[in-house]
Chains A and B, each alone.
Chain A
Amino acid sequence: MINLFLQIGFPLLLFAPSLISIVYIYYFRNKQDQGISHRALALAVIATTALVASTGAIVFGASENTELMLSLPATAESFEVSLNLVQSCFFWILGSCFLWAFQMIFWSKEALTGKHPTLSYLYWLGAFFSGLIVLLAGQVLMGIIFAEIAIFLMHAYHLLDGGQDGQSARVSYFKRSGLIFIGLTLMMALYLAGAFTVGAIILFGTALYVMAIILSNSDFRKWSNFAPTIYSIFIGTFIFMRVLQPGLASELWVPLAMVFTVFALLFSGLSLLSLSGLSSYYWWAMGLICYLFALQFSSNNPSGHSWIILSILFLMSVVVLSGLTETVMSKLPVGMKRGLRAIIIILFMQLIGALPGLGAALEMQHSINYILVTHGILVFILSMALVKILFLPAGADSAVERGQQALMGMGSCLAALFFSQFFILFALGRSGDIGSDWLDLDPAKYLSPLVFLGLVSIGLFAAYFLAKNQKYFSYLSRRDMKNADRLPLVNPIYRQINQIIANSPQVRMDLAAVRAERVLDRISGVTGYIEERFLQRSVWREGNVYLSSLSRYVRYFHRGSVRFYMFAAIVFFLIWSVFLVFI
């Protein structure tokens, strides 16, 4: 009985708030002044779902696997509709609730109170609901189907913005489709060339799925679009983590780690080159996510439970930080602003950025290899980018003014940094992982953690000196002003790529349509020639002659003179048939 409740009751409890809210919306659709707002309703749904998910995380143990399966007939096993109720899934759901709650608290005014609030709400709810199913899906393929539905609904949610934002949403969706097809073609080519095994295809395919979402975002105009984008990445990451099994295509782990490292470097670089807050922040967040993947594949066990928790924390943190950067920071007095910046930098780079790297370094403490060094450089650049985001206000008028504002409060950050380094070293020494006695200064044991912490510190210092460099601001301003009339918020390099696809999907679609039509015309021309040459002059023409005369006879019958005979024949046939059957 308890098992039955766990299997059926829990999913029902999870889905119930969403379904009840639809009924509520339907009831109040024409009564605008009555009832609670869409935003409050969304928050209520999120809170209730989060409550159920928290209970689920407690009730379902880490090792328990309760599965609810709806057996559809004639369905292959890989496509079975089933829900997998395990503790980690509830953690993911909690994470998603957190993301959406943040979205609703900070930015829903732009989205849920626009021209079509009810429609926006329904699209959002659809995406949230589909996302829940993805996070509970028993089969990966079913998860992908629902992930696509969720992404489509978020796309529709963005389309409601209309105008340039709507166009941007289209370009983004088009790019994602294009990247997926390119990836599939590439994988097919590699498979046919014998370079890929089944495991490699699965691993590479899901990695590509996540990267397609990350790379597809083309224009950054509204902070309110940030949480939905991160949610798409959240879903993609979940599928990616779900697919990862111990030993799955282990020969690809190091190459994948390198690929993610390259992307992390690229995105961090783009963040440093972007002047606008949103654009700069977006690339930094993407760099951080790629850094996490790079770390994960450099470790000995990428499918470990700790990586799941870390992924959720990463994604939650970047949304929280975006909210703090954009909304909270502007409302605080100067002193509190400085303090908050210091806390953000330290918490973020030490706990989220540096500590996972530190963990990886601890695994490899006896051998400093190129992976460790690369991670160190990554942490260095990410630290720089974070300081740049937090200390370069986008609203300042001139480059000099920006630089001056940036320098304010850096001292407090640096002081806090020294303290944090000290505490972390102390904690490492007492943890027993490195040695029972923290005063035992064996270089072989301390070297890797020290390299990491050193690189974080140097990164922050470098950002400090960069902030003093006026040429850097002038360079950014020049690039920014030059493109202000076109795509002011997109960084220069990525903008170049976007400009190529900017008029898509319409232009590409038109081009594809023209080419498709041309191909179809050519094939039709060939078949038409064959038909005319071999069929129309012989079979077709003769057949037409006979059929036309037959057609004339039919019309003649229809005119009435012979209808009676037809009628009589059919009645006779009927009677005769019945006679044969019964006698």
Chain B
Amino acid sequence: MNFVTVASFLYCLSPLVALLLVAGLRRSKNAMNWVGTGLGVFRLLFLIPIIDAVLIHATKLQPAIGFIDEFAIRVSTDWSGHRIWFLLVVDCCFLMSYFMRVGTARHQILIEMMLYACQAVITLYVITSNLLLANAMQASTALILFFIVRLSLGEKSSTASYISNRVLMTYACLAILGIVWSISEYTIVNRPGFPILELSPTTGASSLAIRLWMIALLFSVPLSPWSSWFNRAVVDLPEAVTMALVVFVSAVILRAGETYVSVYTDLPSAYKLLVYLTGVMGCVFSLASLFTVETRRAMLGCIPKFFLSLVLVGIGVARGGNLAVVYLLCLFIPIFCGVVLYSSSLSLNTNYQRVFVGIFLLFLIGFPGSPAYQIFSLVGGRSLEMGPGYALIFAVLWFSYFFSIVFICRRIFLDEETAAVGVETPLTKAPVLMTSYAIFMLLFMSFIALVSGRVS
């Protein structure tokens, strides 16, 4: 067993250790802050040797850790470059969430513990290469998030009930359909030592299971107009819980995208067109809803939803299963959402905050080099290749996005009577440390967008 394997193993287990620490220190004030910080730093430190290996040998590093030897299905992990970058994003987002509001005081410790558990399960979900287990992890995370959401606003809150029910039912259904599809389409292959699930060579996109899975996938991306839970989550839920939800949704999209690639070539073009048009519709509706809301958070909350819809547009224009857009979006959305939650509560008191707002505006507008620019350039480049119809739709999407951003900038920063925050949050005080971290997140997001394009 080499150092990388041990590091990755400890990396996976560390949130559980943090969970125990928080449980033990439940009476201490701000326990979550420093335990969370310690956990974040610890995990990032453990990722460094792995990242180094990824950068040098992006395609070679695939250690497999077997820790449930007795079962028939081997739990193998895949530490390929894109997953490690995503884990970096997950860690940074959770680190941010540990400084945010977690919910009612009554269940605070429980929610904090569940957040650690959620981080642990999401990590396993991301690195598991076994489709069956990944779906099981997905369902488990949905269940944990169900409780987190419920407890964060109190059990009797109708909003909590609305969001938690939808999250659980949507992602559990997707997971169940994924499991059904895995069993029907995948075969157990006897590898030396352990059997493993692999996609059967005879598989195709014609089966009922994949069709149902695809429909569930369309519904699992929170699209306007039928998914209003995402907007409500951004506005009403405590920030830390929202962050956990967004990270989870991004992880689901990342894994679903990977699965989608395996059947991409067999899919009829009508399916791809359906996905594309659904995405376009989602983009247009999410930007339209931006003009109907009043508060800053609600306005800015529509932008992550737009990018989530853009995932489907990216899938629709992907070339031969190359889902670079989806990958970039999955890296971008969680951090962007965290920054949005923070920026929507700013009152621009200090120079640091003004610097942050300046950088944030550049990112929003899509300055070259920023992730938004990278994403639009990928989608735009493919749209141009696919013909004038796609290019025109892309032009509509880009101009809609840009004009919406101008509207937001005006309402938040330029109008004489600017839009209200719309939510009571401790982030309004915006300490210097938080602002610095938010600036770091913006730059980190850009760095990731630039570097991730080079990792195969």
Show the binding face of A for B, using Cβ within 8 Å.
70, 72-79, 81, 141-142, 145, 148-149, 152, 155-156, 159, 162, 170, 173, 177, 180-181, 184-185, 187-188, 191-192, 196, 198, 201, 205, 509, 512-513, 516-517, 519-520, 523-524, 527, 535, 539-540, 543-544, 547, 551, 554-555, 558, 563, 567, 570-571, 573-574, 577, 580-582
Which of these, A149, A181, A516, contacts B399 with CB under 8 Å? A181
For residue B387, which residue of chain A has the nearest CB? A198
Are B406 and A173 in contact, CB atoms less than 8 angstroms apart?
Answer: yes
**A-B residue pairs in contact (CB < 8 Å), sample of 8:** A72-B374, A79-B376, A79-B380, A145-B366, A516-B292, A558-B110, A570-B20, A581-B6
Are B225 and A581 in contact, CB atoms less than 8 angstroms apart?
Answer: no
Are B416 and A192 in contact, CB atoms less than 8 angstroms apart?
Answer: no
Are B19 and A570 in contact, CB atoms less than 8 angstroms apart?
Answer: yes
A81 to B291, CA, bound (A): 32
Are A551 and B380 in contact, CB atoms less than 8 angstroms apart?
Answer: no
Q: Does B228 contact A (CB under 8 A)?
A: yes
Which of A148, A196, A517, A543 is packed against the most chain B CB atoms within 10 Å?
A148
Are A74 and B150 in contact, CB atoms less than 8 angstroms apart?
Answer: no
Q: Does B67 contact A (CB under 8 A)?
A: yes
Q: B24 to chain A: closest CB distance in Å?
A: 8
Are B388 and A201 in contact, CB atoms less than 8 angstroms apart?
Answer: yes
**A residues less than 8 Å from B324 (CB atoms):** 74
Which of these, A75, A159, A540, contacts B169 with CB under 8 Å? A540
Q: Does B38 contact A (CB under 8 A)?
A: no
Are B388 and A196 in contact, CB atoms less than 8 angstroms apart?
Answer: yes
Q: Does B9 contact A (CB under 8 A)?
A: yes
Given the known A-B contacts A142-B368, A554-B110, are A78 and B1 also in contact in the complex, defined by CB atoms under 8 Å?
no
Top 5 nearest A-B pairs by Cβ distance? Answer: A76-B381, A73-B453, A74-B453, A79-B377, A513-B292
Show the binding face of B for A, using Cβ within 8 Å.
1, 5-6, 9, 13, 16-17, 19-20, 23, 65-67, 69, 107, 109-110, 146-147, 150, 155, 165, 168-169, 224-226, 228, 285, 288-289, 291-292, 324, 328, 365-369, 373-374, 376-378, 380-382, 384, 388-389, 391-393, 395-396, 399-400, 402-403, 406, 409-410, 414, 416, 450-454
A168 to B418, CA, bound (A): 18
Are B402 and A148 in contact, CB atoms less than 8 angstroms apart?
Answer: yes
Given the known A-B contacts A72-B374, A567-B23, are A520 and B368 also in contact in the complex, defined by CB atoms under 8 Å?
no
Are A523 and B402 in contact, CB atoms less than 8 angstroms apart?
Answer: no
Which of these, B16, B155, B378, B389, contacts A188 with CB under 8 Å? B389
**B residues less than 8 Å from A551 (CB atoms):** 147, 150, 155
Are A72 and B389 in contact, CB atoms less than 8 angstroms apart?
Answer: no
Are A159 and B20 in contact, CB atoms less than 8 angstroms apart?
Answer: no
Are A580 and B67 in contact, CB atoms less than 8 angstroms apart?
Answer: yes
Q: A178 to chain B: closest CB distance in Å?
A: 10
**A residues less than 8 Å from B228 (CB atoms):** 520, 524
Are A516 and B291 in contact, CB atoms less than 8 angstroms apart?
Answer: yes
Which of these, B155, B373, B380, B403, contacts A78 with CB under 8 Å? B380
Are B67 and A581 in contact, CB atoms less than 8 angstroms apart?
Answer: yes
Given the known A-B contacts A581-B65, A581-B67, are A191 and B388 also in contact in the complex, defined by CB atoms under 8 Å?
yes
Are A76 and B155 in contact, CB atoms less than 8 angstroms apart?
Answer: no
For residue B368, which residue of chain A has the nearest CB? A81
A352 to B376, CA, bound (A): 41
For residue B172, which residue of chain A has the nearest CB? A543
A226 to B290, CA, bound (A): 32
Q: A3 to chain B: closest CB distance in Å?
A: 23
**A residues less than 8 Å from B416 (CB atoms):** 162
Given the known A-B contacts A198-B388, A539-B169, A580-B69, are A73 and B454 also in contact in the complex, defined by CB atoms under 8 Å?
yes
